[in-house]
Structure 1
Amino acid sequence: MRFRRARQGVRDVCVAAGAVGIGLLTMEGSRQTYPHPSDFHLARDLVIGALACAGLLLWRRRWPVRVALGLTVVGFLSASAWGAMAMALFTVAVHSAWRATAALTALNVTLITVIFTQVDEMNRRERVESIVVFLLGYAVLVITGLLVRSRRQLIESLRERARQAEEGQRLRVEEARHLERERIAREMHDVLAHRISLLAVHAGALEFHADAPADQRDAAGIIRRSAYEAMEDLREVIGMLRTDPAGERAASGRGAGAPGAAAPGGDGEGERPQPALTDLPALIEESQRAGAHVTFDDRLPDPGAVPSRIGRHAYRIVQEALTNARKHAPGAHVRVTVESTGPGGALSIEVANPLPPGPPPPPGLPGAGAGLLGLRERVDMLGGTLDHGRDPDGHFRLCAHLPWPG
């Protein structure tokens, strides 16, 4: 912006200098034609010329044609105003259409011819030479103005082409990303769906096998249900990967959990029910049946009163914390505490377990190492806080505080 203003200032200075220079030359030629002008006429001519230059600088960009017409009339009254009149024609050539430029050029040429024709103190040769000199000067100004206008239009067209090229490149990148997402989705489906379905089939066969012990049937049932849920999660992930970017932006604009938000698959149909805070006891029981030592301290008088958006994220936080405990501290006793100060306060979640002695054991389950990062993203999205780490008692403690709007 400053650079643009500086360039405009330089242009204004150049236009003013040209107007003053041409006006002084014209006035000097007038004095040679009329050798003894009175001081009054000289002062009046200079004042009119100064006002013409001021009007040129103030309004030449806003009303170039009107200013040029006005200064053409002023040219009949003052010789020093001819400089402003010439630079006004130059401005019209730069900023206006060629029809206006041609009309004003013809008007100025007519004015110059009429004025020099009425000068009795000049012979025929001097009159013709003066007209030719002024016409050549006007031709130089008009041609220069048209060249400046053409150059600006060329630069603007090149900028527009560059913008279109950048937009086209952005669209090509978006298309490539979308195609890559679809390829990943197909690959995930081909690689994982078959194996998980086989796992569910074999677990189901073991669960309903008549000769299998009861504890094995229960464990097989847990495996079968977990495999089914894994298939549902895989379907959601594949649906998200196949969602087009425009649909993602529209869904994110409505907000997660907002009314009318699209399903992960993008069509809004067949959306899998999302967990709520009231599902935490079932999650704890499932972990206990899988062999984990989990204690649930529920200090909420009415878990159903918690908003579904907050409850869903709270459920996912506890689910991820229990998964991390099984991976990094197998067999440890885990304590889950959920409490709240009610609407207008916060929902607090604490998951703690003692750390195993010695060096950390190798993880028994594969993982991407991004679970805590994902939890922090969830908490940040709600405007809450998340703390985790070893406490002085040798426990690993995860604490999350989620705002509960009043």
Structure 2
Amino acid sequence: MDVSSKIRAGWTWLAAPELWPGRRTAGEVVLALVLGIMAAGSEELLGGEGPRLAVVGIAAVVLSLLRRRMPGTVLAVTAALTPLLSGFAPLLMLVGWSAGRRIVGAGRALAMFSVAFVLFAGVTLQDSWSQQAPMTRLLLTTLYFLATTVVPGLASRYWTQRRTLLHALQERNAQLLWERELVAGQARLRERQRIAQDMHDSLGHQLALISVHTGALEVDPELTPRQREAVGVLRGASVTAMHELREVVGILRDGVEAPAPVDDSGRVRRGTAGIGGLVESARTAGNTVELRSAGEERPLAAAADHAAYRIVQEALTNAYKHAPGASISVELRYEPDSFVVEIVSAAAPTPAPGEVVSGGQGLTGLRERARLVGGMVHAGPADGGGFRGAG
């Protein structure tokens, strides 16, 4: 082991139990040197000279550096030397502060401070025993020790315990917050699973009945070809709805969007690749729908691709409900810095039969979906009648 390694190992031993950063290390060294200079300077003022000054200064530096590793021993040694070396008074205050927070256990701390007081008072009285009024001298010594050593030790111990308590309370508060979030997450998961189960049991059953009955009706020999085609559209729509229901139920149960199912016609594909299937389904249902694409096609981000599909789906659904039989134009524009979907529905040739069933949240949901991918949705009346939507 080289010299530098030994120095680092020794300094790690001194700094224990915590690791010091560079600034803290420099501060401790500077503080020890200042205390050493003060002790040597005070000794020189009292007539000391030569090697004695160096010994006093080095002793103050060493005791300052050892006060963390051996707080009780350094306290006792400093208390015994302070009556003999007046320059050790600042060091005694610092050692008392350090010992108060670093001696483990209240009983052990009381014992070490008592030993230090006995040494401090004994050396002081022995040095001045020939003087008169020894009890007065003992009283002053006691008050001095209380002010310079015991009070800093008690203040340090209180401050350390308060800081430890606050740290423990903060950790406990963080733990409680984490547990509360965990409980809330579990409650949300249970509610989502309950909703998913309800959707699966109720809507799944109804859609299965629609699919079965339309399948049976599709092969009824009494139907005309046009009627059979319309029933086929209904059956395909019910099958697609069942696929989408399974997808939503999977998201509610697991919180992860499952891959969209794909059939031969591509009706249930998500994203711009599935818009053609939506248009084809609309045409099969008897609507006149024109699909145009402008610009150089490019792959979109998954969220934006899915949002474009939903915008077209919602716009076509609104056109079916509010303007049955009207011609519809769907345009996909790949612009240099954006992707635009525009759906224009002409004025309805005849009013919609009966009351239109609507949840009233379709456009609101589309606007939020577009906002999440950095886009926007515009919807309103078109020139010459009809309705226009773009996103």
Task: Output the TM-score relative to the length of structure 1.
Answer: 0.65
Q: How many Å apart are 1:193 and its aligned residue? A: 1.0
**What is the distance in 2 between the residues matched to 1:230 and 1:63?**
78
CA distance in 1 between counterparts of 2:260 and 2:103 reads: 60
- Tell me the SS of whatever aligns to 2:356: coil
Q: State the match for 2:261 in structure 1.
A: 272
1:196-207 correspondence runs (5 A): 196-207=207-218
Q: CA deviation at 1:316?
A: 2.3
Which residue in 2 is equivalent to 1:224? Answer: 235
The answer as to whether partners of 1:94 and 1:149 remain within 8 angstroms in 2 is yes
Cα separation, 2, equivalents of 1:360 and 1:113: 109
Q: After TM superposition, give the deviation of residue 127 of structure 1 in Å.
A: 4.3
TM-superposed CA distance for 1:357, in Å, is 10
Shift of 1:64: 7.0
Shift in Å, 1:306: 3.4
What is the match of residue 90 of structure 1? 97
Structure 2 stretches lacking a partner, 5+ long: 1-44, 48-59, 263-268
Work out whether 1:295 is the aligned partner of 2:290: yes
- Do 1:276 and 1:308's aligned partners in 2 also have CA atoms closer than 8 Å? no
Q: Deviations over 1:285-325 (max 9, x none)?
A: 21022122322223356x5x434735443222211111122
CA distance in 2, matches of 1:314, 1:399: 10
Is 351-360 or 324-333 further displaced after alignment? 351-360
Shift of 1:361: 8.7
2:301 and 2:162 mapped to 1: Cα distance? 61
How many equivalent pairs are there?
Answer: 323
Give me the whole-angstrom Cα distance separating, in 2, the residues matched to 1:188 and 1:378: 22
Superposed CA RMSD in Å reads 4.3
Deviation at 1:103, TM superposition (A): 8.7
* AA in 2 matched with 1:384: G
**Of 280, 295, 299, the match for 1:306:** 299
Which residue of the partner structure matches residue 172 of structure 2? Answer: 161
* Alignment partner of 1:122 is 2:131: yes
Alpha-carbon contact 1:352-1:396 (below 8 Å) kept: yes
TM-score, length basis structure 2: 0.67
Match of 2:17 in 1: none
What aligned pairs does 1:130-279 form with structure 2 within 5 A after superposition? 130-137=140-147, 138-139=149-150, 141-243=152-254, 248=255, 263-264=257-258, 272-273=261-262, 274-279=269-274
Structure 1 position 337 matched with structure 2 position 331: yes
Shift of 1:144: 4.8
Residue 389 of structure 1 aligns to a residue whose secondary structure is strand
Q: 1:366 to 1:168 in 2, by over 3 A?
A: same
Q: Which amino acid aligns with 1:333?
A: S
Secondary structure (helix, strand or coil) at the match of 1:279 reads helix
Structure 1 gaps, min length 5:
1-39, 43-54, 249-261, 265-269, 401-406
The answer on whether the counterparts of 2:340 and 2:390 sit within 8 Å (CA) in structure 1 is yes
Structure 1 residues 141 and 382: alpha-carbon distance in aligned structure 2, compared to 1, 3 A threshold: closer
Deviations along 1:88-132, one digit per CA (max 9) or x if unpaired, are 513542466459956973456524532442235534434443444
- Structure 1 residue 171 displacement after superposition: 1.7
Q: Contact (CA 8 Å) 2:325, 2:348: kept in 1 or not? A: no
Q: Which amino acid aligns with 2:100?
A: A
CA distance 1:119–1:171, shift in 2 (3 Å)? same
